[in-house]
Amino acid sequence: MFIPWLSYFRKPYVLVLLLLINVPGTIYGYIWYWNQLKATPWYFVPFVPDSPTASLFFVFVLIAFLMKKNWPLMEALAGVTLIKYGIWAVVMNSSAVFAGAQLTSDIIMLNLSHAGMALQALIYAPYFRIKPWHLVVALLWTVHNDIIDYVFHMFPWLSPGLMPFLPQIGYFTFMLGLFSVGLMYWLCLKRNRLVLTI
C-alpha cells in the first residue's frame, strides 16, 4: 500500500522541525520532574521521568533518520513509550480535572503536548524497522518501569484527587503498556509494510 503524503514526514526540514520541538520539550520535561528527582533515590532516577525519556528516545530516532539510517531498538522504545505515556498523561490530567483539580493552561498544554507524542509514534511507525526482539526489549522496559513505579512507589506525582485510585491507576498503566507494545507490533510487524519513497 502506498500513501504518498506520508513520505512528507521523512523530509529533512520536517525532521529538523520536530527536533526543534522535541529537544526543548524533552529538556522541559526533565525540569518538570526536577523536584521529584531530587527526592528520589539515585538508583530509581532513570525510571521516574517517563514522558521526557520517551521523547528522548524519539530524538535519537529523528537523528538517525536525518543520517538516512534506522535505529530499530530506539524506534521500538520510542514507539511504545510515546504511545503509552502520551495517552497516560492525557488520561491522568483529564481525570484530575474530573476529580476536582482546576483546569489550568498548564494542564491544557500538557494534554496537547502528550497527545502529540502519541501522534508522532503513529505517524512514524511505518518508517520503523523493528524486529520482534526489539519489541521484547521495549516490553521488558515498560513492565520494569511499572514495577518501579507501582511496587516501589516511584510513580509520577499525581493530583491528590487521584491518590485513592492508585491501584486502578497502576493496573491501567500496566495494561496501557501492553496495549502500546501490541499496537507497535501490529503497525510495524503484523501489518503489511507501506512502500515509502524517501
- In the chain, where the domains are located: 4-190
- Per-residue pLDDT 10s for the chain (198 aa) are 445 666 788 899 999 999 999 999 999 999 999 999 999 999 999 999 999 999 999 999 999 999 999 999 999 999 999 999 999 999 999 999 999 999 999 999 999 999 999 999 999 999 999 999 999 999 999 999 999 999 999 999 999 999 999 999 999 999 999 999 999 999 998 764 543 444
HEC secondary structure over the chain: CCCHHHHHHHCHHHHHHHHHHHHHHHHHHHHHCHHHHHCCCHHHHHHCCHHHHHHHHHHHHHHHHHCCCCCHHHHHHHHHHHHHHHHHHHHHHHHHHHCCCCCCHHHHHHHHHHHHHHHHHHHHHHHCCCCHHHHHHHHHHHHHHHHHHHCCCCCCCCCHHHHHHHHHHHHHHHHHHHHHHHHHHHHHHHCCCCCCCC
pTM: 0.92
